[in-house]
Amino acid sequence: MTFGQLIHIRFFCAAASKAEASAATNNLIDVLKGFGTVGSGTPKQYWKIPEYYECSLEVRGSMVSESMLVAVTQKLGTGWERVGDNCYVWSHSENTSFVDNNIRWAELEFLDG
């Protein structure tokens, strides 16, 4: 099954500064660059929880498939939950792990790009 050409990843990072959030974003870029072209937005302090920064990434490939999804989620961490046909959510807990320990929540969505 194919989903489109774009994976959008939105995540919240526990960080003391925008520079720390940018470092976490760069860590994820390094992990994901084998899947296609990776772009990022500027981290923004999350208004509800000032200790968190909201960050986003886009991974563009020729086609995003179910097998690519499995590989991306496995690279990023354990404990992803499917919440729709094209959306997966990850939450920090004792039973989950993420490639960067500062990430507290993430959403991975497949879009036509």
Looking at the 3D structure of the chain, how many domains does it have? Answer: 1
Cα–Cα distance between 13 and 60 in angstroms, integer?
22
Task: Look up the domain containing 68 and give its range.
Answer: 2-111
CATH number at residue 69: 3.30.70.60
Query: Across the strands, what pairs with 79?
Result: none
Query: pLDDT tens, 1-58?
Result: 445 678 899 999 999 999 999 999 999 999 999 988 999 999 999 999 999 999 999 9
Helix 18-32 to helix 66-76 angle (10° resolution) is 130
Residue pair 76/90 in contact (Cβ under 8 Å)? The answer is yes
Residue 36: alpha-carbon gap to chain centroid: 14
- Encode pLDDT of 55-106 as tens digits: 999 998 766 677 787 789 999 999 999 998 778 999 999 999 999 999 999 9
